[in-house]
Structure 1
Amino acid sequence: MNGPPTTDDVTVRRVVVDHIKIGVSDLVRSRAFYIAALTPLGFSELGADQREISFGPPGLDDFIISTILPAAGGLHVAFAAERRDQVDAFHAAALSAGGVDNGAPGPRSQYSAGYYGAFVLDPDGHNIEAVYHGG
């Protein structure tokens, strides 16, 4: 896995996915988990109905949890962090909200130079990550 392209000293991120929706088995339980885990990354709950809840930065519903889709675990979603301390806070908040540790915060040089990430399994077994591509 390579890091993001760079132009001189400026990192350039190319995002090709507009949003992602994952299946969950218990909307209430998953809502509590994702509110806690994603708040340190600047996400908040943006909209909800009886079967789906969207999250994202203000005005951008980038991530959706849904009981309409199957809740089979095994999906991997990595959220970008702007700083290492956000990765640390994500991990701590996710564990406090019932997540299962799947990789404590730390450097992951096997992925790329400057890669700093943390992994947590959500209530349905999805591997949720926060990653900072700094130095």
Structure 2
Amino acid sequence: MIAYVTVGADDIARAERFYSALLPKLGYQLEKYHGDLSYILPRQPGQSAAPPDFYVKSPFNGRPASAGNGTMIAFEASSQQKVRDLHAAALAAGGIDEGQPGFRASYGPQFYVGYLRDPHGNKIALFSSNPDDPGRDG
């Protein structure tokens, strides 16, 4: 089980503006620690394992932050509308569009996804597979 994911950022204030435009709407709570950002999902009653945390930090080695080639972090939303709303909010908060929300032919008929990059180049996916939303073929 994944315990946490960390991305590097050279400008924490810019990263906070971007991630705070979408992660709290997915249930994450922001905690700041020594200038870094920790987005935490609260543990639900009866939940056996904690969901993974998401950290935004200045690189420990003091070198510039860089995005991993081929690395992507996906966040699940509750509906297609939520994906659209979050994608728009992330773009308004400094993100870069990497693919408007919609269905992709190479994925299942319920997989609705939008792609973007954060201000530091990290690739982010926002997706929903809600069976109550219309599917690609319907």
TM-score bracket, shorter-length normalisation:
0.7 to 0.9
Superposition RMSD in Å: 1.8
* Aligned 1:58-69 pairs, distance under 5 A: 58=42, 62-69=53-60
Distance 2:116 2:23 in 1: 12
3-state SS of 2:21 partner: helix
Match of 2:75 among 76, 79, 87: 79
How many angstroms does 1:61 deviate by? Answer: 6.3
How many angstroms does 1:21 deviate by? Answer: 1.0
| 2:34 alignment partner AA | Q
TM-score by length of 1: 0.78
Partner of 2:98 in structure 1?
102
Residues 1:55 and 2:39 are matched in the alignment: yes
TM-score by length of 2: 0.76
Query: What is the count of residue pairs matched by the alignment?
Result: 119
Which stretches in structure 1 are left out of the alignment for 5+ residues?
1-15
Distance 2:102 2:76 in 1: 15
Query: Residues 44 and 89 from structure 1, CA distance in 2 versus in 1: closer, same or farther, beyond 3 angstroms?
Result: farther
Question: Which structure has the bigger radius of gyration?
Answer: 2
Distance 1:109 1:41 in 2: 26
Q: Percent identity?
A: 33
Which stretches of structure 1, 4 residues or more, deviate above 4 A after TM superposition? none
| 1:72 alignment partner AA | S
Which stretches in structure 2 are left out of the alignment for 5+ residues?
44-50, 132-138
